[in-house]
Amino acid sequence: MREIIFDTETTGLDPKTGDRMVEIGCIELVNRVPTGAMFHGYFNPDRDMPAEAEAVHGLSASFLSDKPRFAERAGELLEFLAEAPLVAHNAGFDFAFLNAELSMIGLAPVCHSRMIDTVKLARVRHPGAKLSLDALCTRYGIDRSHRTRHGALLDAELLAQVYVELTGGRQIGLELACGPVDAIDAAMAAPPRERVFRPARPHSASEAELAAHTAFLETVKAPLWLGGT
């Protein structure tokens, strides 16, 4: 089963108000194992970069000024995504920006039926716990010491490890009967395996065994249990 883990960086929080996607990082998994295949791109947003956004990801308008527009690499990106399920942390945010960029160049949006949101998976697995990517990395012992800022490709790489843990850890394949979206729900809701209880086996000695034991004891001369020496 092929899946794509992806993350985006943007100029802000809402594409409806003119914010743009400036970076996307995608990691390919096959049967929950990274294949090494990836897609990464920076995009010139043709607008300024708010200071608040730059403080998060460190991508300045100057840095992005010579990068290609999204339209120039959209075909390459869609070819990489193909028809695979798309996994993201708080996936509605990333889908909104990806689809806004596609809409601006007259391409069809990515269907939300392909969306797998790791925030929702984490909420099922760890109710009441912190659900940020940092918190989940800490929970699963995933090293993020090299993450000093948000970066789409780095965050996708970390999320790939988190996603594997959320969907069964390294014991992959236990959920092969499930689709990728509801694998964790199905695993948690599965009925317990029926256990067969057998009656206890008798362990008491039979009459014949007791008689044989008594006969053997009579052959013992001066037994210690009777004070013999």
Give me the active site residues, please. Answer: 150
Give 181: exposed, middle or buried? Use CB within 10 Å, 0-12, 13-18, 19+. middle
- The conformation of residue 201, written as its DSSP 8-state character, comes to P
How far from 55 is each of 58, 59, 192, CA to CA, in Å? 6, 8, 49
With contact defined as beta carbons under 8 Å apart, do 40 and 155 qualify? no
Gap between the Cα atoms of 216 and 210, Å rounded: 10
Token representation of residue 60: 């300045």
Location of structure tokens 């912190």: 130
With contact defined as beta carbons under 8 Å apart, do 39 and 3 qualify? no
